[in-house]
């Protein structure tokens, strides 16, 4: 896992899109480097307001946000600050879409070591799959258009999450059959 140079001494901005392992990476970086983690505060107005009110007081924090939400909810003056910026992507957009679809159907977006094991079948709903495809395309486009300084670019597929309390999205029992059907649709629409 990544151990940051302690001389960085500035906030870390983790810019990402959904289903890239960003929660696990942010948690590991936070623990290993003794930084406070703010995990997507934009999802809750009170958390976002609190974060923006305290972020100027200290520098040892990690802000993990999607590029889409950074553009939508954060002022440019904030984004122009001197961060150590990590851009996290996924090489396999198809697997990213599948992960989003499975998590959406289950209504579970983070899987932890102590969670009850999931042993289910996933039904392919073409409309939901199309929504997942569109959402990932929009979010990944926002990452591609992120035009602020980036210090480090990482890919989900290159990281080792063994030390994380998070798990990769557990595959349903019918994953191979589901994946084959879903990939045929994804390849048509990408």
Q: Please report which confidence band the pLDDT of residue 1 belongs to, taking 50, 70 and 90 as the band edges.
A: low
> Rounded CA gap, 159 and 153, in Å?
12
Q: Find how far residue 108's CA is from the centre of its chain.
A: 14
Burial class (CB in 10 A: 0-12, 13-18, 19+), 175: middle
Task: Give tens-digit pLDDT for 120-153.
Answer: 899 999 999 999 999 999 999 999 999 999 999 9
What domains sit in the chain, N to C, each tagged with a CATH number?
12-189 (3.40.50)
The tokens of 152 are what? 């480090």
pTM of the model: 0.90
Integer CA distances (angstroms), 14 to 20, 25, 101, in order:
11, 9, 23
Could you tell me which of 20, 153, 3 has the C-alpha nearest to residue 90?
20
Task: Give tens-digit pLDDT for 71-127.
Answer: 999 998 899 999 999 999 999 999 999 999 999 999 988 888 766 667 789 999 999
User: What HEC string does the chain produce?
Assistant: CCCCCCCCCCCEEEEECCCCCHHHHHHHHHHHHCCEEEECHHHCHHHHHHHHHHCCCCCCEEEEEEHHHHHHHCCHHHHCCCCEEEEEECCCHHHHHHHHHHHHHHCCCCEECCCCCCCCCCCCCHHHHHHHHHHHHHHHHHHHCCCCCCCEEEEHHHCCCCCCCEECCCCCCCHHHHHHHHHHHHHHHC
Task: Give tens-digit pLDDT for 28-82.
Answer: 889 888 899 999 999 999 999 999 998 888 888 999 999 999 999 999 889 999 9
């Amino acid at each position: 896992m990544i151990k940051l140079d302690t001389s960085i001494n500035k906030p870390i901005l983790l810019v990402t899109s959904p289903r890239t392992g960003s929660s696990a990476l942010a948690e590991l970086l936070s623990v290993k480097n003794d930084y406070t983690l703010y995990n997507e505060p934009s999802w809750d107005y009170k958390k976002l307001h609190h974060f923006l009110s305290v972020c100027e007081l200290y520098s040892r924090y990690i802000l993990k946000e999607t590029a889409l939400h950074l553009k939508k909810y954060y002022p440019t003056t904030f984004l122009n600050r001197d961060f150590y910026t990590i851009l996290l992507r996924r090489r396999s957009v198809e697997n990213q879409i599948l992960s989003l679809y499975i998590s959406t159907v289950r209504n579970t977006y983070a899987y932890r070591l102590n969670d009850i094991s999931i042993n289910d079948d996933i039904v392919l709903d073409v409309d939901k799959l199309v929504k997942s495809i569109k959402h990932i395309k929009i979010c990944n486009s926002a990452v591609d258009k992120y035009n602020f300084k980036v210090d480090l670019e990482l890919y989900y597929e290159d990281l080792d999450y063994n030390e994380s309390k998070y798990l990769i999205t557990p595959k349903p029992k019918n994953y191979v059959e589901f994946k084959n059907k879903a990939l045929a649709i994804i390849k048509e629409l990408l």
